[in-house]
Chain A
């Protein structure tokens, strides 16, 4: 489970990665857990609204620092 978390966070090293992929071929619990977590991560990235900073704010900030 520790390695699973490292995998999800892109922090596993090569040996851990190899162990993990070998393990999920045999363990359906870890396999489905990994997939669900990956899916949630994808959802967060894809579906959360990304706001553009209001243009006047960027201009205000820029003006303040060059004053």
Chain B
């Protein structure tokens, strides 16, 4: 990531302009970045460090950013890579789901048709934030990330492909697998509460 940023300068901002770009293009996204960091690390201090590292990198490599392009996607990409490279290894949170195992299990893009009966509309409306949050947090990081990017932040397939550095086809299949798992988790919760 860092090498790539250094190799691709798109702009040459004078010093005063750098701060202007930073304030106007990067700072407005800081709440989103903090939320993303928290959903990856589950820890306030780690989230602060991760956001700070992201913004420091964004400033250091600001010439790789072209004003008026998608700053939010660029920042997400930096944060995601910082997380993978620097934080994932020391993360206090053990990996709850083995990605390979899950990927093999859900190796079809098609959703099993009977999966829809696991969860009905009338059960989801009674769910509270904690249950939703626990279900999302229990997803493997790769799956959690696509749900956050698509459903919470509204990124397109193309933007997600750039942020995650994977082909659009992989974005799609990963997203749909993530949705299947999330629905199942919410479905088992609904079931445990006596629904269905």
Residues of A within 8 A of B (CB): 1-2, 5, 8-11, 29, 32-33, 35-37, 39-41, 43-45, 47-54, 57-58, 60-62, 64-66
Contact = CB atoms under 8 A, between A and B. Distances in A.
B124 A57 contact: no
Contacts of A52: 31, 34
B152 A36 contact: no
A65 B59 contact: yes
B75 interface: no
Interface string B155-175: 011000000000000001001
B7 to A, nearest CB: 22
Interface of B: 19, 22-23, 27, 30-31, 33-35, 38, 44, 48, 51-52, 55-56, 59, 109-111, 113, 115-116, 119-121, 124-125, 127-129, 132-133, 136, 147, 150-152, 154, 156-157, 172, 175-176, 179, 182-183, 186
30 contacts: A1-B109, A1-B110, A2-B109, A5-B176, A5-B179, A9-B157, A9-B175, A10-B156, A11-B156, A32-B116, A33-B113, A36-B124, A40-B119, A40-B124, A40-B183, A41-B151, A44-B147, A44-B151, A45-B151, A47-B129, A48-B152, A49-B133, A51-B34, A51-B38, A53-B31, A54-B48, A57-B48, A61-B52, A62-B27, A65-B19
